[in-house]
């Protein structure tokens, strides 16, 4: 039996070896190897697809939201699957699909805002402002989305604008104007033909972000008149003449299928919840701000530092744009320019028209009608509001007149202000008249 089994086992082994070495077996080997490679490749492809899907469907794909609901941008070179020419804007589209609005303190009044902001700046930042200056600041942004803050260097123009953003828990964005700026692309960015991407400026990204929220955004144009404002800011000045729903900024002239969601035919609607605050120094290194800018903007003169005071601790207030808009609308409805004050303003206007051939147009008249009620709602008086508006909007127009003409009529103009408003009233207008007299000497 032993000699019988051994040949049988050997025969089987020999037959198996012959089969494994045959051409049919080799074919099976290749089929099995192919299936293994295909399975491995398929597994890798599935993993890559799932990873890209996770990036595309979650805020981790290049941009995230911080605890306050604002975008934390990723690097433009991140492997986040974005092929659009607007890398940062598409990142925001992804991130804000997960956005949840914060809880706003919408039970606050304009008087509260003025008081709290003043105390916040002093207690948290060591910045001291007078009550009148804070009222002028809040009233100014209540009238126009462009506020020009001018005055001597070091009086706190830029710090006041940035402090307001901190007070709102939405830090201001400071854009440092450059002397060579001449056109829109200098401030919002441009399309790079070499990389086929749009170089998105800080301003463009903030405008896009603001479209997703109800926050109040402050854009500070630092040293705005170191270049010609009416050149690089021309598009924005023109848009301010239109109704908010029709204010569109042309970013590009064409449309790509993967452009950001809020870009409509290459245009971005300028959000209403954005304010531009420009700081202007008047010296030999800057350009004079033109009437085109002054007429469309509100102006705030900050010529001296306020005295220090003991502030009440305030940690700021998060106020929605909608609520601030309601406060402004309510102020205009509740407060009106009195008929007596309207007659006094008309008296000054008639004298300036007859003697100097200057007058203020409908735009400035409308600004007066809006500014004075808001200033009253901020806790100020009608006379102080009129003093401020006449000084910075009307008497400013005398700066370009001949010194001979100014000297000839200055005494009469000063007497008219004294008889109309009172000899010891209207300090801002009296300062303006004193300055005009000195310059005419």
Its sign, for the CA torsion 394, 218, 307, 311, is: positive
Distances (CA, A) of 53 to 59, 71, 164, 256: 12, 20, 40, 22
Do 375 and 139 contact (CB within 8 A), yes or no? Answer: yes
* pLDDT tens column, 251-272: 999 999 999 999 999 999 999 9
| Co-location of 195 and 282 in the same domain | yes
Spatial distance between the Cα atoms of 97 and 401, rounded to a whole number of angstroms: 56
| Co-location of 195 and 293 in the same domain | yes
Token pair of 141 as six digits:
């942004």
pTM: 0.82
Residue 157 in this model has a pLDDT that exceeds 80: yes
| Co-location of 152 and 277 in the same domain | yes
Domain boundary, last residue among 71, 95, 119: 95
Predicted local distance difference test score (pLDDT) of residue 2: 47
Residue 58 in this model has a pLDDT that exceeds 60: no
Predicted local distance difference test score (pLDDT) of residue 415: 94
| Among the ranges given (10-24, 58-72, 247-261, 371-385), the one the predictor scored with the smallest mean pLDDT | 58-72
Q: How confident is the model at residue 3 (pLDDT cuts 50, 70, 90)?
A: very low
Is 25 among the domain residues? Answer: yes
Predicted local distance difference test score (pLDDT) of residue 379: 96
Token pair of 55 as six digits:
């990036």
Predicted local distance difference test score (pLDDT) of residue 62: 47
Predicted local distance difference test score (pLDDT) of residue 118: 97
Pick the closest to residue 353 from 133, 250, 345, 111 (CA basis). Answer: 345
- Pairing mode of beta strands 189-192, 197-200: antiparallel
| Co-location of 54 and 90 in the same domain | yes
Predicted local distance difference test score (pLDDT) of residue 57: 43
Is 321 among the domain residues? Answer: no
Token pair of 180 as six digits:
């060579």
Is 158 among the domain residues? Answer: yes
| Co-location of 287 and 344 in the same domain | no
Residue 89 in this model has a pLDDT that exceeds 80: yes
Q: What is the mean pLDDT of the segment spanning 25-37?
A: 72
* pLDDT tens column, 326-356: 999 999 999 999 999 999 999 999 999 998 8
Neighbouring C-beta atoms of residue 320, cutoff 10 Å:
20
Is 310 among the domain residues? Answer: no
| Co-location of 133 and 273 in the same domain | yes
Is 306 among the domain residues? Answer: no
Choice between 34 and 420, residue whose per-residue pLDDT is larger: 420
E strands, 247-316, in order:
248-250, 263-264, 267-269, 274-280, 298-301
Q: What is the mean pLDDT of the segment spanning 376-398?
A: 94
Choice between 15 and 314, residue whose per-residue pLDDT is larger: 314
**Domain total for the chain?**
3
Residue 48 in this model has a pLDDT that exceeds 90: no
H helices of 252-381, where?
Answer: 291-296, 321-334, 339-356, 362-377
| Co-location of 81 and 158 in the same domain | no
E strands, 365-410, in order:
none
Mean pLDDT for the chain overall: 86
Q: What angle do CA 141, 144, 148 make, to 5 degrees?
A: 75
Q: What is the mean pLDDT of the segment spanning 137-152?
A: 93
Is 147 among the domain residues? Answer: yes
Residue 72 in this model has a pLDDT that exceeds 70: no
Residue 5 in this model has a pLDDT that exceeds 60: no
Q: What is the mean pLDDT of the segment spanning 126-151?
A: 95
| Co-location of 239 and 119 in the same domain | yes
Q: What is the mean pLDDT of the segment spanning 397-403?
A: 84
Residues 6 or more apart in contact with residue 165 via CB below 8 angstroms: 171, 172, 173, 217, 218
* pLDDT tens column, 197-235: 999 999 999 999 999 999 999 999 999 999 999 999 999
Predicted local distance difference test score (pLDDT) of residue 1: 45
Q: How confident is the model at residue 10 (pLDDT cuts 50, 70, 90)?
A: low
Burial (0-12, 13-18, 19+ Cβ within 10 Å), 340: exposed
Predicted local distance difference test score (pLDDT) of residue 136: 96
Q: What is the mean pLDDT of the segment spanning 348-373?
A: 90
Domain boundary, last residue among 70, 95, 120: 95
Domain boundary, last residue among 66, 95, 124: 95
| Co-location of 252 and 366 in the same domain | no
Choice between 324 and 98, residue whose per-residue pLDDT is larger: 324
Spatial distance between the Cα atoms of 159 and 180, rounded to a whole number of angstroms: 24
Q: What is the mean pLDDT of the segment spanning 29-52?
A: 69
| Co-location of 264 and 140 in the same domain | yes
Neighbouring C-beta atoms of residue 425, cutoff 10 Å:
15
Q: Which residues of 87-119 are buried (b: 16+ CB within 10 A; e: fewer)?
A: bbbbbbbbbbeeeeebebeeebebbbbbbbbbb
**Phi, psi of 269, rounded to the nearest 5 degrees:** -70, 125
Token pair of 214 as six digits:
């109800």
Residue 174's domain comprises: 110-301
Spatial distance between the Cα atoms of 129 and 149, rounded to a whole number of angstroms: 14
Residues 6 or more apart in contact with residue 386 via CB below 8 angstroms: 341, 344, 345, 368, 372, 421, 426
| Among the ranges given (1-15, 23-37, 92-106, 107-121), the one the predictor scored with the smallest mean pLDDT | 1-15
Q: Which residues of 349-360 are buried (b: 16+ CB within 10 A; e: fewer)?
A: bebbeeebeeeb
| Co-location of 88 and 123 in the same domain | no
Is 127 among the domain residues? Answer: yes
| Co-location of 211 and 123 in the same domain | yes
């Amino acid at each position: 039996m032993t000699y019988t089994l051994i040949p049988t086992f050997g025969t089987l082994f020999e037959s198996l070896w012959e089969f494994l070495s045959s051409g049919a077996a080799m074919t099976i080997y290749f089929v099995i190897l192919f299936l293994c490679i295909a399975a491995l490749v398929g597994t890798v492809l599935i993993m890559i697809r799932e990873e890209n899907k996770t990036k595309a469907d979650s805020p981790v794909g290049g941009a995230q939201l911080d605890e306050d609901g604002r975008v934390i941008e990723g690097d433009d070179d991140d492997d986040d699957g974005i092929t659009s020419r607007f890398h940062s804007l598409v990142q925001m589209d992804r991130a804000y699909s997960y956005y949840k609005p914060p809880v706003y303190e919408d039970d606050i009044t304009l008087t509260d805002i003025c008081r709290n902001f003043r105390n916040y700046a002093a207690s948290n930042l060591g910045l001291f402002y007078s009550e009148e200056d804070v009222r002028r600041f809040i009233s100014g942004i209540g009238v126009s989305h462009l506020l020009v803050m001018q005055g001597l260097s070091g009086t706190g123009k830029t710090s006041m604008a940035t402090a307001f953003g901190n007070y709102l828990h939405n830090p201001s964005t400071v854009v440092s104007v450059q002397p060579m700026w001449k056109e829109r692309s200098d401030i919002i960015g441009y399309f790079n033909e070499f990389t086929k991407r749009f170089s998105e400026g800080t301003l463009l990204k903030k405008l896009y972000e603001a479209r997703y929220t109800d926050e109040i955004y402050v854009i500070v144009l630092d040293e705005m008149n170191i270049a010609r404002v009416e050149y690089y800011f021309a598009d924005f000045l023109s848009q301010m003449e239109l109704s908010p729903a029709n204010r569109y900024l042309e970013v590009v002239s064409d449309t790509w299928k993967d452009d950001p969601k809020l870009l409509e035919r290459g245009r971005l609607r300028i959000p209403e919840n954005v304010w531009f605050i420009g700081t202007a120094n008047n010296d030999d290194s800057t350009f004079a701000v033109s009437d085109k800018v002054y007429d469309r903007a509100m102006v705030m003169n900050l010529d001296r530092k306020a005295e220090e005071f003991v502030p009440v601790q305030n940690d700021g207030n998060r106020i929605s744009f909608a609520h601030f808009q309601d406060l402004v609308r309510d102020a205009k409805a509740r407060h009106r320019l009195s008929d007596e004050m309207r007659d006094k303003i008309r008296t000054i206007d008639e004298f300036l028209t007859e003697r100097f051939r200057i007058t203020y147009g409908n735009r400035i008249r409308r600004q007066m009608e809006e500014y004075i009620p808001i200033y009253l709602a901020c806790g100020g008086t009608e006379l102080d509001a009129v003093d401020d508006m006449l000084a910075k909007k009307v008497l400013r127009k005398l700066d370009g007149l001949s010194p001979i003409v100014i000297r000839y009529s200055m005494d009469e103009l000063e007497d008219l202000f004294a008889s109309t408003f009172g000899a010891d009233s209207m300090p801002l207008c009296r300062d303006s008249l004193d300055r005009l007299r000195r310059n005419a000497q």
